[in-house]
Amino acid sequence: MDALACLMTRRTATRLVEPGPTTEQLAVILSAATTAPDHKMLRPWRFVVVRGEARATLATAIAEAAQAVGTLPEPVVRKAAGKATLSPALIAVVAARVQSKVPVGEQDASAAAAAQNICLAAHALGLASAWKSVPLLLDSAQVRAAFGLADGEELVGWVELGTQAQGMPLPSRPAVPLDQVAAELAVDGTLRPVAAVVPDQLPVSAAAAQPIGSARSGPVG
């Protein structure tokens, strides 16, 4: 799969099952994450892999965090904890901010770009992914401890990894009219909409025009 096809066909998985990523695939995915744009090469991010039985450890931490809120119904607590075991593996993305002249917002943007690279690398390897979070609980003491967050670090979220379940189609993504979201600055200072459609000559192969399959037989994401 070429780079443009990977970008154009990645989708968020709707249900992830085994097989999950191998150790070798995880190394490739994490290496891709480290290539995110990074002003002054601060490395303002780090990653925590959770898979196998360790998912239950994370689920316990989330459940404890939810119970500590004190007002959440038990079904809500169970659902929140269940997010840790929805996929064969996940990679947590931590915004590990560095003391620098580079603004915190720019460092956090680098961490978000690293998360996107994880999704794209997984897709290129034939895996499926979904970028998720646990609302209200990301900054809890229990979840912070599970990921070893230091003062000043924030959990961006995590990327679930696995194989898209058979019979569960990937969601479609209608093309966004470019003239609605993009403009070009003209010499006279006005902003003019860009071309509304992607040119036909864009070098994305016909085979990559839509996400493929639902199992390891082809790239999904």
Instruction: Kindly report, residue by residue over 112-129, the tens digit of the pLDDT.
Output: 999 999 999 999 999 999
Annotated ligand binding at 173? The verdict is no
Annotated ligand binding at 39? The verdict is yes
8 A C-beta contact, residue 161 and residue 50: no
Predicted confidence at residue 195, as pLDDT, reads 80
**Nearest by Cα to 221 from 114, 127, 133, 131:** 127
User: Considering the chain, what is the average pLDDT of its residues?
Assistant: 89
Annotated ligand binding at 133? The verdict is yes
61 Cβ contact list (under 8 Å, min separation 6)? 142, 143, 145, 146
**Nearest by Cα to 204 from 3, 40, 67:** 3
Q: How is residue 59 annotated by DSSP?
A: H
CA 182 to mean position of chain CA atoms:
24
Annotated ligand binding at 31? The verdict is no
Per DSSP bridges, beta strands 153-164 and 128-132 are antiparallel
**Pair of tokens at residue 142:** 């229990």
Predicted confidence at residue 182, as pLDDT, reads 95
Instruction: Kindly report, residue by residue over 17-48, the tens digit of the pLDDT.
Output: 999 999 999 999 999 999 999 999 999 999 99
Instruction: Kindly report, residue by residue over 53-105, the tens digit of the pLDDT.
Output: 999 999 999 999 999 999 999 999 999 999 999 999 999 999 999 999 999 99
- 203 vs 173: which has the higher pLDDT: 173
Q: Which CATH architecture has domain 3-164?
A: 3-Layer(aba) Sandwich (3.40)
**Can you give the residue ranges of every domain in the chain?**
3-164
Residue 214 has pLDDT above 60, yes or no: no
Predicted confidence at residue 144, as pLDDT, reads 95
Predicted confidence at residue 199, as pLDDT, reads 58
Q: What angle do CA 208, 213, 218 make, to 5 degrees?
A: 65
